[in-house]
Structures are given as C-alpha cells and as structure tokens.
Amino acid sequence: MRTSWADSVANSASENATTNSSNTNGLKRPTRSTYVPPHLRNKQPSTDPHPPPHAAPAPSPVNDRAGFGGPATGSRWGGDSRPDFGRVGGYGGRGGNAWNGRSGGWDRGREREVNPFGEDENAVEAFGEQENSGINFDAYEDIPVETSGDNVPPPVNTFAGIDLGDALNENIRRCKYVKPTPVQRYAIPISLAGRDLMACAQTGSGKTAAFCFPIISGIMRGHGVQRPRGARTVYPLALILSPTRELSCQIHDEAKKFSYQTGVKVVVAYGGAPINQQLRELERGVDILVATPGRLVDLLERARVSLQMINYLALDEADRMLDMGFEPQIRKIVEQMDMPPPGARQTMLFSATFPKEIQRLASDFLSNYIFLAVGRVGSSTDLIVQRVEFVHESDKRSHLMDLLHAQRENGINGKQSLTLVFVETKKGADSLEHWLCINGFPATTIHGDRTQQEREQALRLFKTGKTPILVATDVAARGLDIPHVAHVVNFDLPNDIDDYVHRIGRTGRAGKTGLATAFFNENNLSMARPLADLMQEANQEVPAWLTRYASRASYGGGGRNRRSGGGRFGGRDFRRDGSLNRGTDYYGGANSSSGYGVPGGYVGGYGPGVTSAWD
DNA sequence: AAAAAAG
C-alpha cells in the first residue's frame, strides 16, 4: 500500500486524467464556443472575438489581486464583453458583467427566449452538470433507500414513466439525462402526488432537478391561474431558498435549463449585487423565485414580492437554512409573511445531512410529510480517499506547501489540478491566500468579507483553472458544483462532522476520484470520534492515533450527535425514534445526518480501479 | 467562536 500522500495525489491525478481522457483539455479550452450568455445577446461583438491568450494550453495561473500574477482577467463590472469562455459549471454564467445594467437589445428581444443549451444541443459540455451521464446505473440497484410516512407513492424507473409534459421531457433530453437518479426516482412521484417531502441525498445526486421538475410541471399544469395585479408587486408561484448567493445562482442556472420553452419564468435574487436589475427581472414576470434569505426579506418588506400565491416551497441545504444563524429569517419568510400555511402549499426540504434536532424544527414547516433517504452505493465513497494527518497549528502552512509541491510535481502536463483549501475564518483565508501567493502558489479566496464581484471572480478563476488553488471558508462548503476539484484540504477542520461531509463532497464528483486531506491537532479533539467513525464507515483507513483519540473521553459535545446505528442508513426519520433516545443518546442512532458518509458518492460504482489510491 | 445573509 502506498503511504505517501504524494503518491496518492499523483495517483488521483492520473486517474482523473484517464477517466476523463476524452476531455483532457476540459480545463483550458473554450467549453461552449457556440453559447452566448443571456447578458451578451444582441450586443456588439467583443473587440476580441477569439479566446484570450490564456485559453492556450498550459496557461499561467493568475491571482485576482493586484501584485500577484498580473492584472485580473475578469471583466468585473461590465467593462468588456468577452465571452466567458472558460466557464465549466452552471453557476459561472453570471459572468463578469451580469450587473452592468446594459441590457442592450435584450429587453426588446424578450419574446425570444435565450436558448440555455446553446445552438449546438449536442455539445457535450452544454452544461457542466452532467450528473446523469457517466454514471453506472447498474449500481443503482444497490443503493439503499429508506422512506417513511403515510402512503408513500411508488418510485418510477424512467422519466418516460412520469407525466412531466412534453416541453420538460424535451429539456430532460437536452440535458442528456437518460434515466432518473435514485433521489429523482423517489422524490418526483412523491412531489407530483402533492406530498410534502424531507429528502436526504448527496449533493451532486440530482436533487436540484428532483425538486425543479415537479415544480415546473405543476406550474405548467396550473397555467392560467389568476394572480393579483399589485402595482409593482409580483406573485411567484414557487420559492426556492438556499444559504449562499453562489448556490442560488447555480440553482437558477439549472432551473433555467429545465424550464426552457415551458413558459415558466425563473428569476434569482440575492444580496451583494445591485437590486435594480433584479427588480427589473421581477417586473418582467416570475413564476419561480430563487433567492437567498436576506435579499428576499428586503424584497418582501418593499412589497415588491408577495408570497401569497406560493404553491411550492423548496429549501436547499435545508439543515443549514434551519440552523441557528438562519432559522429566524426563515421563520419570518415562511411563517410571518403572507405565505400559505403548510398543507395549503407544498414544501420540500433537501440536504445531504439532516441532524435530528433540525428535523424536529423542520417539521414545523411540513404537513404529513414523507421522509426519504437515499444512501450511497456500497463502497462508492472510496471515490474520495480521505486522509487525516496530525499537524500542529504552527506547522500547517509548511505542511500545506509540501502537499502542493508534490501535487505540482506530479501534476498532469505540469498543470496543477484544482485544490480547494478550507479554513475556519475569513481573516485566515486572506492571510493564507497571501502567503501562498508570495510563495509561488497562485491562489485566490472566497469568503463573506469579499465583495460579491470578488467572490464570483474568485470562483470563476478557480473553476477555469486560471487560479488552481482556492482558499475558502464554509461559504463554499455546500452545494457548489465545481468540476475537476482533485483535492480538498481541511486546513482547519470544522467543528461539525456534517460540515466536513459537505466540504469533502466538493471533490470526487462526476465519477472521478478525489482526495480529501484533513489537518488534525489538539484543537480538534472533539472531532476525533465523529471523524474516525465517518472514515471507518466509508471504508477509509483510520490512523491508529486517531482511533486512540476517538476512544478516549468524549471531549464534550463536539461534532454534535453522531453516527447513526444504521450504518449506511444514517439518514433516519426522527419521527421513528420517538422519545426513546432523547437527551442521553450521543452516538446511539437517534440522530440522522451524515450516515451516508460522503456526498457525491453515489456516482460511484463508476468503474474499476477507483479505490486504488491506497492499493 | 465562526460563517452566512440586507445595506
């Protein structure tokens, strides 16, 4: 067995190269030469119609701050109109100049809906989210699924078996979704039956589509519903909330694809961006509103949006939305504005993790709901090799440097694979980014103290590989689909095992292997047991020293609850636990949450050899 | 204690 992390990085990298052999230049070539983003339609051609020089092979990485690696490359606030050629994921469509207010002929061309699939519907990478392609569907038979609740509708096996309507089916075809994923097989019929739903499923498992399809279908069915005509108030029929701005953008981009030519209008609203353009979009009509909580409250208080016609409410990353920081805002939106009560609307909650105490809170928003948990494929979490190393606080930087050096030396064609480094604080993110840059590793950072332009710029530079290292706080931990992340480093471990699960789920996506390295030290004692348990459950090699820490006293309540007794059925309906384990049970199975081990895992069973990083 | 989310 290999013991060096350098080998494992090399192995992981080369496997990625093999897995992706038909697309080895995915990071550097223009992925959608034929696609014109909505905000660029009907504009004068860019002064440079060709991809800029850094589109050439082996681009030199850049940083987005003055003084490191040259000037920023993004168009930022609407300067030039260069195509966002390097975009890989769905979210990047926001581009650099989405807020410039220069709608040009776009408004006038409003009767002509922009084709989000581009002119070439057969383009392989028409969208970054290829969650259904490249999956070994035979492995689905092995996926553990648990449902509970009254009269659970049976799952379907094909999209054809679901009456979603022609237009939606056509978009499913355009997305190249050949077969529903497990969460879709179960969630869509439940949702079409009008039932409330609490669903546990890994990110990357198609849950966005799982709640979007029924919503779009339902809105189409109910077309012609009369809505009030407030002076400047709009009345969306569906509301989708998410905990970060970038995630809302990503969901919006997905939903736009699904609703193309259905007549269903999707609008996104989030903070940090000028509100005027969002207001204009709303005024042009909205059926599905995707939003972050703060901006939505603003819109509600301005009476620019009313929730009284909401038929569908979806909370993505629902456990995060209902944790301490968010809960009051969510309650305000859902309970204290004009939204119809549970039972009069349909409510769907989705997350990869669902702690029991959050389930209890969430049940306030639900009516006679069905609980759905879709587990991972057998050992597919081996797609992510998890390593934990004991690193003293003072040694972290040099240790990270060692990792990056080896990764660089073992990289493909001298090109670094993408590395996502999670830290605890915003200041820590800035300082680590600066340190990496002055030590020859172009890095950028994303956290809540940066402006929204900077955040989007950072994400774009990272996604396109121009800046192959991204230092992030937990703002990037959840939901973001960033292809080609080969390595997630938990430079600072989170204090909650669920956060760890979400973080490492940024890699090992789309059937590729991923590596997750965690730095553990005496500040993380409370994570020893949950981490050791999680790794063991995911068939990872647990260092003996970690097992020793884990078996000692339980270090206070860190890591919160943990480890369901159910093994791969960690996602458990809290209603089944009755009052049995309340209070005293710490590891006893009353909880829910990350029993799946690792999000993204189910794309596995993808092919032979994926577990070989440690063979 | 920190992060996120309105400005």
- Alpha-carbon torsion (A241, A247, A251, A253), positive or negative: positive
For B6, nearest residue by CA–C1' is: A294
Distance, Å, A326 CA → B6 C1': 13
- Cα(A190)–Cα(A288) distance, integer angstroms: 20
Q: pTM for the complete prediction?
A: 0.77
Distance, Å, A353 CA → B5 C1': 21
Structure tokens that stand for A300 in this block? 């509600």
Q: What is the pLDDT of residues A471-482, one digit of tens each?
A: 999 999 999 989
Q: What is the pLDDT of residue A556?
A: 54
Residue A55 has a CB neighbour count (10 Å cut-off) of: 15
Highest mean pLDDT out of A131-145, A447-461, A596-610: A447-461
Is strand B within 7 Å of residue A245 (CB)? yes
- Cα(A403)–Cα(A391) distance, integer angstroms: 12
Is strand B within 7 Å of residue A327 (CB)? no
Q: What is the pLDDT of residue A64?
A: 64
Distance, Å, A555 CA → B6 C1': 38
Nucleotide nearest A269, CA–C1', reads B6
Distance, Å, A140 CA → B3 C1': 36
Is strand B within 7 Å of residue A293 (CB)? yes
For B3, nearest residue by CA–C1' is: A474
Burial of A555-591, coded b for 16+ CB within 10 Å and e otherwise, reads eeebbbbbbbebebbbbbbbeebeeebeeeebeebbb
Chain B: bases < 7 Å from a protein Cβ: 1-7
Do residues A564 and A533 make contact, with C-beta atoms less than 8 angstroms apart?
Answer: no
Nucleotide nearest A328, CA–C1', reads B5
* Mean of pLDDT values over A408-434: 85
Do residues A432 and A397 make contact, with C-beta atoms less than 8 angstroms apart?
Answer: yes
Who contacts A584 (Cβ-Cβ below 8 Å, separation ≥6)? none
Within residues 62-91 of protein chain A, the ones with CB less than 7 A from nucleic strand B are none
Does A103 score more than 50 pLDDT? no
Is strand B within 7 Å of residue A179 (CB)? no
Within residues 306-325 of protein chain A, the ones with CB less than 7 A from nucleic strand B are 323-325
Distance, Å, A253 CA → B3 C1': 25
Task: pLDDT band for A512, please (50, 70, 90 cuts).
Answer: confident
Is strand B within 7 Å of residue A298 (CB)? yes
Task: pLDDT band for A376, please (50, 70, 90 cuts).
Answer: low
For B5, nearest residue by CA–C1' is: A294
Task: pLDDT band for A470, please (50, 70, 90 cuts).
Answer: very high
Q: What is the pLDDT of residue A404?
A: 93
Q: What is the pLDDT of residue A328?
A: 95
Distance, Å, A241 CA → B6 C1': 15
Q: What is the pLDDT of residue A492?
A: 97
For B2, nearest residue by CA–C1' is: A425
**SS3 label, residue A312:** strand
- In degrees and rounded to multiples of 5, residue A381 shows phi and psi of -65, -10
Sheet containing A346-351: order of strands: A145-148, A370-374, A197-200, A346-351, A312-315, A238-241, A288-291, A266-269
Is strand B within 7 Å of residue A295 (CB)? yes
Q: What is the pLDDT of residues A35-63, one digit of tens each?
A: 233 333 333 333 333 333 333 344 456 66
